[in-house]
Amino acid sequence: MMSDRTQGTGGVDDAALDYYLIFATPDDRGRGAPPLGILVEEFVLCDDYTAAGIDSVEWSSATGVWGGSSATDAWSGSSATSRDLRTDALLRSRVIPVTRLDAGDAYQACGGGELPPEAEIRALFRERQPLPAAAPLDLGATGARRYRVLFAGELGERGLGNVRSALRLEPVDDPMGRVVGSATATAAGHDFTWELRRIGPGIAWCLDVTVRLGTGPESAVGALLHHHRQAIRGQGLIPVTIERFA
């Protein structure tokens, strides 16, 4: 069952919306060139904090229009941009995940004025990219949930170091070299374990989170998943979906 959009905390931005600057070329990202547009997204979450879809809207610096025109003629709309961002490495090379503050600075520099409040941006959402959903596997009455947050892209050494620090990851003994670290914590009476995995060189990453539910509010699960997703997004990876396996 789908819930109201969950408001998380921490990570790249305390706001619930995700902001991306889209540039004409990969080189434009680092030399102060104005972006072609701004893509704004929000994961639509189910009651158990898995992802049912991604709402989005795109603003074009060429037209100054939200949703009425895409940033380049090659894009047919914000949902197509949102989908391609996760499947097209060339497009990802022209995109930077940013905070709302940075998106507001770019919006103003491109002549858009003051970035609209998030409630107004949500009202502009017209396109949703649906995400496949399946019932979690029944692995017995373990009292645990197992989540996977999938990311597209690659982490450089600096980005990986920042993620290790933000998620308090400790080294693990993995002969295959896929698991780069794990951590445990207790929050709101729940026990959490998470590990960061590499899925093929330059292809994707995932964060696996096991939750052993206690007596506290389940909102702590959503808050941790949000915080960790934003911390990883802040290092340039693009969140693809949030799945649950148990």
Tell me how far apart the alpha carbons of residues 17 and 50 are, in angstroms, rounded to a whole number.
Answer: 16
Q: Which residues pair with 37 in a beta bridge?
A: 22, 60
Tell me how far apart the alpha carbons of residues 2 and 223 are, in angstroms, rounded to a whole number.
Answer: 17
Question: How far is the first Cα of the chain from the last one, in angstroms, to the nearest whole number?
Answer: 16
Asked if residue 21 lies in contact with residue 106, where contact means CB atoms within 8 angstroms, the answer is yes
At residue 13, the pLDDT reads 44
Same domain, 22 and 109: yes
Same domain, 119 and 28: yes
Q: Which of 103, 130, 157 is the last residue of a domain?
A: 130
At residue 135, the pLDDT reads 65
Domain-embedded: residue 126: yes
Which of the residues in the chain have pLDDT under 50?
1-14, 68-75
Per-residue pLDDT reduced to its tens digit, 187-196: 999 999 999 9
The candidate with the shortest Cα–Cα distance to 136, out of 145, 127, 123, is 145
Q: Which of 70, 103, 130 is the last residue of a domain?
A: 130
pTM, entire model: 0.88
Same domain, 44 and 116: yes
Tell me how far apart the alpha carbons of residues 70 and 75 are, in angstroms, rounded to a whole number.
Answer: 6
Per-residue pLDDT reduced to its tens digit, 98-115: 999 999 999 999 999 999
Q: How many domains does the chain have?
A: 2
Domain range for 26 = 18-130
